Amino acid sequence: MKNPLLLKKIEKSREEMISLSDSNALTSEKVISSSKELDKLINEYLKGSKASLKIHGTFR
């Protein structure tokens, strides 16, 4: 099951990270922190997707 609110958060976080990387080094704490937040959101989304697939019997 798709989570539209989480997908919006992912997109916003991705845009924020790209914007930060335009004005900061990719290794800056700001960009790395933003990247970690994006990773967290993506992992949360994927975890929910796998759970949904298990419920519907399409994931093994």
DSSP per-residue letters across 17-58: HHHHHHHS-TTSHHHHHHHHHHHHHHHHHHHHHHHHHHHTT-
Residue 29 is assigned to a structural domain of this protein: yes
| Domain count for the chain | 1
13 lies in a domain? yes
Domain coverage including residue 15: 4-55
Domain-located, residue 60: no
Band of residue 54 on the pLDDT scale cut at 50, 70, 90: low
pLDDT interval class at 56 (50, 70, 90): low
CATH number at residue 28: 4.10.280
pLDDT at 49: 80
pLDDT exceeds cutoff 70 at 20: yes
User: What pTM, to 2 d.p., does this model score?
Assistant: 0.80
What is the per-residue pLDDT across 28-41, written as a single tens digit (0 to 9) for each? 999 999 999 999 99
Contacts of 34 (CB under 8 A, 6+ apart): 13, 16, 17, 20
